[in-house]
Amino acid sequence: MEDGKEDRAITLYFMKKIYYNKLIRDKIPEKIKKHGGDYKIKRLKGRGFELELLKKVGEEASGLLAAKTKKELVSELADVLDVIEEIKRLKKITDKQIKDAQKLNFEKKGGFEKKIFLFWSSDTGYKSNERKYKNRK
């Protein structure tokens, strides 16, 4: 092996692997290579891609909590919107369908103008998203 290639092979051998097991943006593999790293990827299709996109919304949304500045918040919001736009494209959901659903949700549940924080409520049988997610586990 040539000296440079042998040094790189030794470096890569001793580099710690970090397992992500998640959907990534298209340019991430080339960024890893540019920084001297190696990686293993696979191309997702169909339902697998769809499921990973839905998980990605949660991942990107959790980044909102970590934002310390307005610039960071804007960047995190952009990440969330990018994933949402890809889901809309994949599922052929129009902006009009989203606006109509927002309007209906507002009519049924209201907005956030009153800034209400719920500590608890009696179990009336109302099915919130919180319950849906807890039951998935």
User: Over the chain, what HEC string results?
Assistant: CCHHHHHHHHHHHHCCCCCCCCCCCCCHHHHHHHCCCCCCCCCCCHHHHHHHHHHHHHHHHHHHHHCCCHHHHHHHHHHHHHHHHHHHHHHCCCHHHHHHHHHHHHHHHCCCCCCCCCCCCCCCCCCCHHHHHHHHC
3-state secondary structure of 50: helix
> Ramachandran region of residue 122, left (φ > 0), alpha (ψ -120 to 50) or beta?
beta
Q: Which residue has the tokens 């209906």?
A: 104
Instruction: Give this prediction's pTM.
Output: 0.78
The length of the chain is 137
Token couple for 133: 């997610």
Average pLDDT, the chain: 88
Taking only the tens place, the pLDDT of each residue in 19-76 is 999 999 999 999 999 998 999 999 999 999 999 999 999 999 999 999 999 999 999 9
3-state secondary structure of 88: helix
User: What pLDDT, on a 0 to 100 scale, did the predictor assign at position 19?
Assistant: 94
User: What pLDDT, on a 0 to 100 scale, did the predictor assign at position 12?
Assistant: 56
Alpha carbon distance, N-terminus to C-terminus of the chain = 50
